Structure 1
Amino acid sequence: MRTTQLGPTQLQVSAIGLGGMPMSIAGRPPEAQAIAVIHRALDLGITLIDTADSYCKDETDKHHNERLIHKALQQYEGDTGSVVVATKGGLMRPNGSWTRNGDPKHLRQTIRESFEALGGQRPIDLWQYHAPDHNYSIEESLAPAKEAVDSGLIRFVGVSNFSVEQIRQARKVVEIVSVQNQYNPWYRQPESDGVLQYCEQEGLTFLPWSPLGGSSRVGSLDSFPVLTRLAQEKGGSIYNIVLAWLRAKSPCVLPIPGASKVSSIEDSVRALDLQLSEAEVQQIDQQVKQGAAA
């Protein structure tokens, strides 16, 4: 398994991660299947697992994915000492919807609950503020994260759905090691808003969420001839090509594709064996852009 450094930390993590969300939201697989997916990811050398307190069905189910991941790690027969679990806080799930909550009181509480859900024996490896809440300043919302770092509940802090200016504000409060924003061939805002370039310049890891374009996009990837052609030429899947495209965009990008089936994470890992040339990346850029315009 190829590895990469997590931001400015000394942690080495796998060059591709596992996104836990599909294993805990509506339509989630049976627990035994989800644990098998996590175990297979570990077998394949994945050492970064991304989760969140809000990866659940609703508020009554909060922290489901964190508890699931902890249970899977506890049951795994191999060594889990190098596994980094990255969680998030700051979103609520009332009746299954998604809403922001940057109230410092809530964030203090959910950090503690995430710590307990993940076992309560060691600091949270990476805690990320899930999305800025405009009802509170960045300084107010990240103060609990700084407190948790100082008290030993959290090792490292990241942010999600942040602009460059918001990242700068966050870094005045606490050291930031990663940024998790939406990024895929159909959503390229990180290229134009400066976030991807900023992460690369500042040595921050960029974790693209929805790397395959989301559930509505995944089923129609074969409608893009350039993806099917490159998949055939390189002996991989269409999904491999999209993940390879992300990795080709910047050395700071670390894809975290979600999975709820063993076959899905096995396929995602194969993307590390594929290399796209600059010309091939541009071909994907152009055809996807034309498809979006159409």
Structure 2
Amino acid sequence: MNRQLGKTDYSLYPVGLGAMSLSIQGRPTTTEAIQVIQAFVENGGNFIDTANVYCLDDSDLGHNERLIHSALALIGKNDYVLIATKGGLRRPRGEWIVDAHPTWLRTSCEQSLRDLQRESIDLYYLHASDLKIPFEESLGALMQLQQEGKIRYIGISNVNLQQLTLALRLTSIAAVQNRCNPFFKKDFHNGLIRQCQTQGVSYVPYSPFGGRHNYAHLSSYPLFQKLSKKYNASPYQISLAWLLQKDNNIIPIPGTGKVKNVLDNTLSAKLRLNQEDIDAIDQIPED
């Protein structure tokens, strides 16, 4: 059942945990957040996605990474879980500002190592491309950090096909993390997921339900209500099962602040949809 991360030796449970909602505005209590992380791991999960900017603002940088370390340390699972984090953004006054300058990427990576209390980061993403900095310059900073042993594998996030193609010419890419869900399927149409498949790159969809402000749309959508009854599964399990059956290089990272949702999400890896139902989801009009 497990899925390989790119061409690496990591074997991952098919559904990861996106930890962002545990640290941004509206976040749960620390106790509740730790329970979510522990429930994920105790139910077989071993891939957690974070970032230094999953926090309230620049004064809170690293909150999510420190939280994850604390949760895993409590159950003695720090070495069991692959943690993916990112660099390339800032959070002034709570805003989300791209800064992929090599100096900031180095500063961010080295602070993430301290916050995660690790000697090397398993998977480090360039969080976003910076219009002020050549893409290859930002990627070069990650390559240098990898040579120094501070990063084990490199990923890229919020990228297009052209940027993926350029990145693959420069270095080995383990994963691409982009937004993808039944209402936002452009990477299935623009060749990016196909390129990931042929090049042995994992595709890691974030916001697999539409994001924290749009997930209710999925649960109320008629097709998902119909399939939910047919398979005796939640609409969210249906959405994850659809992604998982599109290709075996896809590892979705749904986020949640509730333990019961973690259990729901992890069970989706065992759900099999009929091809006609996969095709029906494929035909849902995009936002």
Equivalent residue, structure 2, for 1:88 = 86
**Distance across 2 between alignment mates of 1:112 and 1:236:** 42
Residues of 2 paired with 1:227 and 1:250: CA distance? 20
List structure 1 segments (4+ residues) > 3 angstroms apart after TM superposition: none
Question: What secondary structure sits across from 1:133 in the alignment?
Answer: coil
- What amino acid maps onto 2:218 in structure 1? L
* C-alpha separation in 1, matches of 2:235 and 2:18: 18
1:43 is matched with 42
- SS of 2:125's equivalent in the other structure is strand
Amino acid at match of 1:190: D
Paired residues of 1:199 and 1:205 also in contact (CA < 8 A): yes
Contact 1:104 1:144 (C-alpha < 8 Å) held by counterparts: yes
Q: Counterpart of 2:71?
A: 72
CA distance in 2, matches of 1:222, 1:123: 39
3-state SS of the aligned residue for 1:66?
helix
Between the aligned partners of 1:202 and 1:85, the Cα distance in structure 2 is 23
Partner SS state of residue 206, structure 2: coil
Counterparts of 1:1-294 in structure 2, within 5 Å, are: 2-77=1-76, 79-119=77-117, 121-286=118-283, 288-289=284-285
Gapped runs of 5+ residues in structure 2? none
Give the alignment's TM-score, normalised by structure 2: 0.96
8 Å CA contact 1:37–1:265 kept in 2: the answer is yes
Deviation of residue 174 (structure 1)?
2.8
Q: Give 1:80 deviation, angstroms.
A: 4.0
Aligned equivalents of 2:171 and 2:72: distance in 1? 29
**What is the count of residue pairs matched by the alignment?**
287
CA distance in 2, matches of 1:122, 1:130: 21
State the Cα deviation string for residues 114-149 of structure 1 (Å, max 9, x = none).
111110x42100000001001111221112211111
User: Contact 1:146/1:173 (CA < 8 Å) preserved in 2?
Assistant: no
Deviation for aligned residue 1:3 = 1.0
Give the structure, 1 or 2, with the largest relative contact order (CA under 8 Å, sep 6 or more): 2
CA RMSD of aligned residues (A): 1.3
Q: Which moved more, 1:67-76 or 1:211-220?
A: 211-220
What TM-score comes out, normalization by structure 1 length? Answer: 0.94
- Please say which of residues 32-41 and 139-148 is displaced more in the overlay: 139-148
Report SS of the residue matched to 1:212.
Answer: coil
Tell me the percent identity.
37
After TM superposition, give the deviation of residue 165 of structure 1 in Å.
1.6
Displacement of 1:36 after TM fit?
0.6
